[in-house]
A and B are shown apart, each in its own frame.
Chain A
Amino acid sequence: MAEFGVLDFERPIYEVEQKVAELKKMMEEEGLDLSQKIEELENRADELRREIFSNLDPWQRVQVARHPRRPYTYDFVKLMITDFVEVHGDRLFADDKAILAGFGRLDGQTVCVVGHQKGRTTKENLMRNFGSPHPEGFRKALRIMRIADKFNIPILTFLDSAGAYPGIEAEERGQAEAIAKNIKEMHNLGVPIIINVIGEGGSGGALGIGVGNVVLILSNAYYSVISPEGCAAILWRDRAEAPESSRILRITARDLLKLGVVDEVVQEPLGGAHTDYEASAKALKEAILGHLKPLMKMGRRKLIEHRREHFRKMGYTSENPFDNSVFVDTRTV
């Protein structure tokens, strides 16, 4: 594990791993046999990983979802998709690099890829706007998805954004309209659409490319109507209350599954997706292929109706209540 971005609760694991690295170096340089000690420490690191990562609270999961070393859309594309060709622009205003779009092959089948793209460095983040799209990003996404629709190419979207960008120009160019239109028009595409929440599912900015036949989520990703900080600022006028708001908003993968908002939780490697990109991509790819197969057999009209029906069921009312006792164990009054 590299020092970069180590989270507080990861530090015990990190320290043991550092020790292992030191011993390995010593073994190499001084010819001592330290293999038993190394094995012991590696077991200890595994134990710690299991202890810490099997009991993450919602706020810790948000930290993992935002981990600076978390695999982003393009990392998954590189590991899952062959022959990838990136395409650019909304043909109206600009190319928004907060959205990555293109075509490639998944297990031989041509697919369309659309996803939020965060940057790893400051320079990249300036270009990618931290993965927060402007309206032209949503319009680019729709343009590309319509090409996929024309050629009967299934669509995979990757959600990883803190949210649509809140700025003057974004409003001037119709952020709300761009998102609203995407949400509506994604309901009109006659190809399979699989949504993958890989990191941050930040509200309307996520949903703007988030309407699909199937919604998958990685086990440490989250999906929320408002950022935990934003919610805390409204409820308690204090962004430092984000751990509490991330708990009451029920934004973790497991809670979203209970609420019927996602269809499947894809298990990340024990220490989080950032500890093993390949294993994460493999797990996600398998899940995608599993869902894609039956969808590929549906006709265009059936796919549209299936998708609309999927969202028709969302929400709970007096006629269709939800047993919230599944959450009551974590409730403080």
Chain B
Amino acid sequence: MAEKKSRKSSSQKAQQSPKKGFPADLWLKCPKCGETLFKKELGRNFGICEHCNYRFKLSSNERIEMLADEATFKEIDADLTPVDPLAFVDRLKYTDRLKQVQEKTGLTEAIRTGIARMGGHDVALGVMDFQFIGGSMGSVVGEKVTRLFETAMEKKLPVLIVSTSGGARMQEGILSLMQMAKTNAVIAAHDEMGLLFLSICMDPTMAGVMASYASIGDLNIAEPGALMGFAGPRVIKETIRQELPEGFQRTEFMLERGFVDLICERAELREKLILLLDLFLKPKGK
């Protein structure tokens, strides 16, 4: 019943919205409920549809804006770009695929890293971006994560990484797999220094990223409903030839099984992270 009602209202709105004089790129249709959403309003609501709670994927820029104290993010290694060590060609040359996605997204790679302030704390912040080849980890992502931890060790800073990734980047083959060992090596060193690492998982965080840095934060934090796991649901379904349980590999499932410390809504994420930073970095109080 409720479903019918919302469909009706969505079609009404759909007719109203793209008016003459309104550039189309100000509006956006919710892929779940079909409502037409005003982009600015959607942004104020942290990219969550006000009608059905559908979560739009946020860009790394939007995340950084949401999390860091205003205008404090100082990017490092912004000009470190991927190369094509395998001479990889599938339907496209890897080099052409990179050029296309760089032009389309304005990003150089699937992660942005830098030093920022959060609630007055200096932090090393890495934010992945799903638009860039599914947030996949190749040599550059691994290198930027590694350098972020190295910078944090030099400056004795906590590291926060916001992950969203389909896994290792196939186009860089075994080198992508090796990034898992590279990043976890520097995390071991950062850990030895008694420094804090918070892993924040967004939808989806899978495979090579989940099986390396995203799983081993001192605390693992995730947004509601995010897909998190090792093998993708399709692969599992094909292997075991049965249906997967409701909510399988989602944040709530992962919390119940003991792999997520806390679930946090986008709107509360910044405040919650600052609270955690306060608790760990100012143990005697403010």
Residue numbers of A with Cβ under 8 A of B are: 164-168, 170-177, 179-181, 183-185, 187-188, 203-204, 207-208, 210-211, 223-226, 230-231, 234-236, 248-251, 256, 259, 261, 307-308, 311-312, 314-319, 321-322, 324-325, 327-328, 331-333
Contact = CB atoms under 8 A, between A and B. Distances in A.
B176 A170 contact: no
A184 B173 contact: no
Nearest to B168: A225
Given A314-B139, A316-B175, 5 more contacts: A172-B257, A204-B207, A204-B230, A308-B186, A311-B185
Interface string B115-155: 00000000000000000000000111011001000000000
A314 B142 contact: yes
B185 A307 contact: yes
Contacts of B172: 225, 315
A249 B174 contact: yes
Contacts of A166: 230-232, 235-236, 239
A168 B181 contact: no
Nearest to B213: A180
Nearest to B253: A172
A314 B258 CA distance: 32
A183 B206 CA distance: 16
A204 B177 contact: yes
Interface string B64-104: 00000000000000011111111111110100000000000
Nearest to A316: B85
Contact of B174 (A168, A225, A319): A225
Specify which of A165, A166, A327 lies most central, judged by the most chain B CB atoms within 10 Å of its CB.
A166
B178 interface: yes
A311 B178 contact: yes
Interface in B160-185: 168, 170, 172-182, 184-185
A261 B175 contact: yes
A230 B173 CA distance: 12
A225 B86 CA distance: 13
Contacts of A176: 206-207, 210-211, 214-215, 228-230, 259
A177 B231 contact: no
B216 A314 contact: no
B91 A180 contact: no
Contacts of A236: 90-91
A250 B174 contact: yes
- Nearest 8 CB-CB pairs, A to B? A315-B139, A166-B231, A314-B178, A175-B230, A180-B215, A322-B85, A176-B210, A176-B230
Interface in B233-252: 235-236, 239-240, 244-245, 248-249
B142 A315 contact: yes
22 contacts: A166-B232, A180-B213, A181-B216, A184-B216, A188-B188, A204-B207, A204-B230, A224-B177, A225-B173, A225-B177, A250-B174, A308-B188, A311-B178, A314-B179, A314-B182, A315-B139, A315-B172, A316-B139, A316-B175, A328-B87, A331-B89, A333-B93
B184 A187 contact: yes
B212 interface: yes
A164 B143 CA distance: 25
Contacts of B89: 248, 331-333
Q: What bracket does the count of chain B residues touching chain A fall in?
A: 35 or more
A139 to B, nearest CB: 13
Nearest to B138: A315
B212 A180 contact: yes
B189 interface: yes
B221 interface: no
B187 interface: yes
A210 to B, nearest CB: 7
Contact of A259 (B142, B174, B192): B174
Contacts of B138: 315
Contact of A170 (B142, B146, B207, B230): B230
B208 interface: yes
A250 B214 CA distance: 27
Specify which of B230, B231, B257 lies most central, judged by the most chain A CB atoms within 10 Å of its CB.
B230
Contact of B173 (A174, A179, A224): A224
A256 B85 CA distance: 12
Contacts of A251: 173-174
A317 B90 contact: no
A174 B259 contact: yes
Contacts of B178: 261, 311, 314-315
A324 B84 CA distance: 7
Specify which of A170, A210, A225 lies most central, judged by the most chain B CB atoms within 10 Å of its CB.
A225
A316 B83 contact: yes
A248 B86 contact: yes
Contact of B179 (A235, A259, A315, A331): A315
A308 B187 CA distance: 10
A236 B92 CA distance: 12
B85 A314 contact: no
Interface in B12-38: none
Specify which of A223, A235, A311 lies most central, judged by the most chain B CB atoms within 10 Å of its CB.
A311
B167 to A, nearest CB: 9
Nearest to A324: B87
A315 B182 contact: yes
A132 B192 CA distance: 32
B240 A207 contact: no
